[in-house]
Structure 1
Amino acid sequence: MDLKNLIIGIVFLFQTTVGILGNVSLVSCYLSHYYIEHTIKKTNLILVHLFTANFLILLSKGLIHTMQTFGIKGFINDFVCKLLLYIQRLGRNMSISTTCFLSVFQAITISPRSSFLMSLKVKAPSHICLFTSFCWILYMALNMIFPLYMYSKENRNNMTYKNNLKYCSIVVHDDFISSLYTAIFVLPEILFSFIIIGSSSFMVVILYMHKQSIQHIHSITVCSRTSPESRATHRILVLVSTFIGFYSLSSILQGCIALVYNPGWWLLNITAIISMCFPTLGPIVINHDSTFQRLCFP
């Protein structure tokens, strides 16, 4: 193994190990608190689904790239490769949809009582489980049906496959399938990204207006205290900002790979590393919150 493969392999192994431990720790913490107290905050319930999706991404993508970089090929056969790609797509779909729902839910939560979101503010908490369950079922079905259509005999002659164990990827050259994939997966992800940006901007405006009103009413001592709602909103803003930053960069690099006929070694590996940054850093961002530390380490 040459030096560059060794370095990239260590990076993949570090990301996968740290990310899996962080996501599993937070999910276990929230579920343990629910088991003991028989209650869980609505925001933390959404975070459980988000960190579960991140765990799936790290488990599948990290396993593929770590083993392939270190030259372990016997374990990843054709079936395992397709299974890991399925888990990876499912985790990615759930990660972006859950992040979008988290951002929108937090924006609704901190909205003023006099706003047009008041009716949603009352109904939203009771629909969290319904929405997340619907997303899991929908994406599990779509990610299962879509490959079956790709591999159907009727279309086999119209497609070119690149199922190379070195990258464990499938490239399909078919206009209809490419359009179908764009309509089912890519466009909703773009829409979710714009919703995340819009809801995050709304939260920034609400926090700024709240801070200005407090300054006119209370003394400087009271103003220096940060409310739990503001701390939670700051936490969500940092989380979604991290997501948008790495997701946008990852999407740009994925587009470069799609446009380049024979993408280079560095482009493929850097893209994989960037796409794993948010699942790895998400628990670290949440762990900076003192509420989480008091919850898990009383």
Structure 2
Amino acid sequence: MTSMDLKFVILLIFPIVIGSLGNFSLLCHFIFLYFSGCSTRSTDLILRHLTVANLLVILSRGIPETMAAAGVEDFLSNVGCKLVFYVLIVGKGVSFSATCLLSVCQAITISPRSSRLAELKVKALKYIGPCCILLWLLHMLLNFRVPMLVSDKWSSRNMANIIDYQYCSAIISGKGNTWFFTVLSLSHDILCLKLMIWSSGSMVFMLYRHKQRTQHIHRHKISSRSSAETRASQSILILVCAFVSFYTLTSFTYFLFSVYDKSAWWLVNTSALTIVCFPTASPFILMTREQCVCRPLWRK
């Protein structure tokens, strides 16, 4: 193992360990609230699915990448490669969709009674569970071709059309039905991004209006602590901003694969780091912004 490999292993282990602990702690917290009969928010179910998806992304990309950089060889078979990448892509897609769903649901939740969104509050609560299950089914079906495009590194033959991950290889093809699935995937991403931008803008506007009304009515009795809904909205806004930033960075790294050598060491490792950034940061954004989450986790 070279010095560069050692530095990358150390750099990648940090988000793997921290991100796994953060998501697992948050997941345990929500499971505890569910079975203990405590009052939960409508978005808690979405957060449970989001943390599971984040864990899958961190473990399925981070651990194989670290083992490969550490010099471990032939630790994944052809079937193992297909399974790892399928879990990675499905988890990444569910994380994307769950963040979008979380943002939209929170915008509906904090909408005033006079708003058109208020009519969707009751209906939204009923359909959150089925929507979360639908997200998993949708991405499992949407990415059914991923195992066909992935193999162990020794099974690859056309070296001009593959990305070499050291432990596995992903085939890139611009022919046949590949363009159809690419357009389908991009349409999903664009739709989710538009919904996140719309819901985030709506939340910012509603929080601003709420603050103005509060200051006008209770000019001398302003609480030093914001309401639970305000804190939740702020955390989700930060979460969405973080996701859009890391998504843009990840998309740029994949664009570089079409410009530079697809098996370039620095490019493959950079893509691994950018993919695990959001799953690592998201639980801590939620834990630091929402006191109702932090207290059961860190205080007795």
Q: CA deviation at 1:112?
A: 1.1
Q: CA deviation at 1:200?
A: 0.7
**TM-score, with length taken from structure 1:** 0.91
CA distance in 2, matches of 1:12, 1:32: 30
Aligned residue in 2 for 1:36: 36
Q: CA deviation at 1:97?
A: 0.4
* Between 133-142 and 220-229, the greater mean CA deviation after superposition: 220-229
The change in CA–CA distance for 1:158 and 1:267 in structure 2 (over 3 A counts) is closer
Aligned residue in 1 for 2:292: 291
CA distance in 2, matches of 1:22, 1:150: 30
**Does the Cα contact within 8 Å between 1:90 and 1:143 map onto a contact in 2?**
yes
**TM-score, with length taken from structure 2:** 0.90
Aligned residue in 1 for 2:117: 117
CA distance in 1, matches of 2:147, 2:81: 13
Amino acid at match of 2:216: H
Q: CA deviation at 1:8?
A: 0.5
Aligned residue in 2 for 1:184: 184
**Does the Cα contact within 8 Å between 2:109 and 2:121 map onto a contact in 1?**
yes
Q: Secondary structure at the match of 1:259?
A: coil
CA distance in 1, matches of 2:159, 2:38: 52
Aligned residue in 1 for 2:98: 98
Q: CA deviation at 1:164?
A: 3.9
CA distance in 1, matches of 2:262, 2:143: 26
The change in CA–CA distance for 1:258 and 1:220 in structure 2 (over 3 A counts) is farther
After superposition, residues 170-249 of structure 1 pair within 5 angstroms as 170-222=170-222, 224-249=224-249
CA distance in 2, matches of 1:2, 1:158: 28
CA distance in 1, matches of 2:74, 2:252: 32
Q: CA deviation at 1:63?
A: 1.5
Q: How many residues align?
A: 294
Aligned residue in 1 for 2:154: none
* Between 111-120 and 99-108, the greater mean CA deviation after superposition: 111-120
Q: CA deviation at 1:201?
A: 1.2
CA RMSD of aligned residues (A): 2.4
Q: Secondary structure at the match of 2:73?
A: coil
Q: Secondary structure at the match of 1:40?
A: coil
Q: CA deviation at 1:165?
A: 5.3
Q: Secondary structure at the match of 1:170?
A: strand
CA distance in 1, matches of 2:91, 2:6: 27
Amino acid at match of 2:279: P
Amino acid at match of 1:264: A
Q: Secondary structure at the match of 1:10?
A: helix
**Does the Cα contact within 8 Å between 2:110 and 2:203 map onto a contact in 1?**
yes
Gaps of 5+ in 1: 152-156
**Does the Cα contact within 8 Å between 1:150 and 1:177 map onto a contact in 2?**
no
Deviations 1:222-262 (A, max 9, x none): 25441111111111111111111111111111111133344
Aligned residue in 2 for 1:154: none
Amino acid at match of 1:18: I
Q: CA deviation at 1:116?
A: 1.0
Q: Given the alignment of the two structures, is residue 142 of structure 1 paired with residue 142 of structure 2, yes or no?
A: yes
Deviations 1:11-63 (A, max 9, x none): 21221111111111111111011111165322111100001000000110011
**Does the Cα contact within 8 Å between 1:107 and 1:203 map onto a contact in 2?**
yes
Amino acid at match of 1:134: L
The change in CA–CA distance for 1:140 and 1:38 in structure 2 (over 3 A counts) is farther
* Between 277-286 and 260-269, the greater mean CA deviation after superposition: 260-269
Q: Given the alignment of the two structures, is residue 19 of structure 1 paired with residue 53 of structure 2, yes or no?
A: no
Q: Secondary structure at the match of 1:41?
A: coil
Deviations 1:171-192 (A, max 9, x none): 2223333312212322201221
**Does the Cα contact within 8 Å between 1:9 and 1:66 map onto a contact in 2?**
yes
- State the identity as a percent: 38
